[in-house]
Amino acid sequence: MTLDEIARAGWEDGANDPPLTPTQRTYLIALLGPHIRASIAKRAVASSDQTSTAA
C-alpha cells in the first residue's frame, strides 16, 4: 500500500465513526494539550529566531 492509499483508507474508516462524545473530546484535549502547546511554543521560538536573524 502507498501512503496515499493508507491515508484514504483511514479517512474512509473515520467517516463511518460516530462523532466524539463530550467526554472523549475532553480526554483528547487533556492528552494532546501539552504536546500542542509545546509545538506552538517551539514554532514561535523558531519564528522569532528567524525574524531576529533576518533583521
Q: What is the pLDDT of residue 21?
A: 97
pLDDT by residue for the chain (55 residues), tens only, comes to 899 999 999 999 999 899 999 999 999 999 999 999 999 999 999 888 777 666 5
> Is the whole model's pTM more than 0.75, yes or no?
no
Q: Are 20 and 28 in contact (CB under 8 A)?
A: yes
Q: What is the pLDDT of residue 48?
A: 82
Amino acid sitting at position 44: A
Instruction: Give one DSSP letter per residue of the chain, joined into a string.
Output: --HHHHHHHHHHHHHTSPPPPHHHHHHHHHHHHHHHHHHHHHHHHHHHHHHHHH-
Q: What is the pLDDT of residue 51?
A: 73
